[in-house]
């Protein structure tokens, strides 16, 4: 039991630290869980999704007043209504794909080999896009055009494959469509809210029968640690990428993916 609690704490910290970075939190959780033997069963795979609630609430606590002001402005502010519409447009593609392919994703794509390969490939893509001399037309995440919001939503669908990274897919998509680094990263925060809440609710519905007793306690432990770690990351991330770009995260992905492939080849 103590080992399971310690593992849940570690996975919670990893979830919180990686959820909003373009490095794939699900991929990291699956790799760590695989080598610790924690996410090889149905509950373990659901655990990786359910503890996201802690990271979601960390983000909501930081963005609460911005979201509240947007909500207050909906009756009278066309810009607020347009942003909410854009957020919905960006959310819907992944919601549809996730609902239709949920079983396939969990049973087939939650595979450590796939995770490692996608970490390496995604790292290479992120490194290339970060080095491109892209002309930024958008500097405010709440003022993208509707076609840009939809394009980012399509890019997010790629993150259904563990190891791609939801944040990474949306950031790369936004930058290629004209957003600067900061607004691309910030919109990935906004889009994370409905996307992660939707994934959490859907997975909780699917795995509710497994949530009794010890399993519920492990999810609670992972939730608390992911909240703390996620709060720290959200506070620091935007300023870091504004000044330093995404190179560090791209190389992190490549190194972790390569080490993961070596580990899988040696010990399975």
- The predicted pLDDT at position 33 comes to 77
Q: Which residues of the chain have pLDDT under 70?
A: 1-2, 38-46, 48-49, 204, 206-214
For 215-228, what is each residue's pLDDT tens digit? 778 878 888 999 99
DSSP character at residue 40: S
Query: Do the Cβ atoms of 54 and 223 come closer than 8 Å?
Result: yes
62 token code pair: 């930081």
Long-range contacts of range 141-146, CB-CB < 8 Å, 24 or more positions apart? 141/179, 141/183, 141/184, 141/186, 141/187, 141/189, 141/190, 142/70, 142/79, 142/83, 142/190, 143/79, 143/83, 144/86, 144/174, 144/177, 144/179, 144/183, 144/187, 146/82, 146/85, 146/86, 146/89
For 65-118, what is each residue's pLDDT tens digit? 999 999 999 999 999 999 999 999 999 999 899 888 878 887 788 889 999 999
Nearby residues of 90 by Cβ (< 8 Å), 6 or more positions away: 149, 150, 152, 153, 156, 170, 187, 191
| Residue whose entry in the numeric block shows the structure tokens 């390569």 | 258
- The predicted pLDDT at position 159 comes to 92
CA terminus-to-terminus distance, the chain: 25
The enclosing H or E element of 38 equals none
169 token code pair: 């897919």
C-alpha–C-alpha distance, residues 91 and 194, integer Å: 7
Query: Do the Cβ atoms of 258 and 120 come closer than 8 Å?
Result: yes
Domain boundaries, the chain: 2-267
Burial-class residue 204 by CB neighbours within 10 Å (0-12, 13-18, 19+).
middle
Q: 254 — alpha (psi -120 to 50), left (phi > 0) or beta? A: alpha
- The predicted pLDDT at position 210 comes to 54
CA 170 to chain centre: 9
- The predicted pLDDT at position 265 comes to 93
């Amino acid at each position: 039991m103590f080992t399971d609690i310690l593992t849940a704490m570690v996975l919670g910290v990893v979830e919180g630290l990686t959820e909003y970075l373009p490095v794939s939190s699900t991929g990291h959780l699956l790799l760590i869980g695989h080598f610790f033997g924690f996410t090889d069963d149905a509950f373990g795979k659901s655990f990786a999704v359910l503890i996201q609630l802690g990271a979601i609430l960390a983000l909501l606590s930081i963005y609460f007043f911005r979201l509240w002001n947007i909500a207050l402005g909906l009756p009278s502010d066309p810009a607020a209504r347009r942003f909410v519409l854009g957020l919905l447009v960006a959310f819907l593609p992944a919601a549809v794909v996730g609902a239709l392919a949920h079983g396939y994703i969990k049973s087939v794509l939650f595979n450590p080999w796939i995770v490692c390969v996608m970490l390496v490939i995604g790292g290479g893509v992120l490194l290339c896009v970060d080095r491109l001399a892209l002309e930024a037309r958008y500097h405010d995440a709440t003022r993208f055009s509707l076609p840009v919001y939809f394009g980012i939503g399509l890019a997010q669908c790629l993150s259904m494959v563990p190891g791609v990274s939801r944040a990474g897919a949306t950031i790369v998509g936004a930058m290629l469509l004209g957003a600067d680094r900061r607004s691309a990263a910030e919109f990935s925060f906004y889009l994370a809210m409905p996307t992660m809440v939707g994934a959490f609710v859907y997975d909780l519905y699917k795995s509710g029968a497994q949530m009794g007793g010890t399993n519920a306690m492990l999810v609670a432990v992972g939730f608390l640690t992911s909240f703390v770690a996620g709060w720290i990351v959200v506070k620091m991330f935007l300023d870091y990428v504004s000044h330093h770009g995404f190179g560090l995260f791209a190389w992190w992905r490549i190194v972790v993916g390569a080490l993961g492939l070596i580990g899988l080849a040696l010990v399975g």
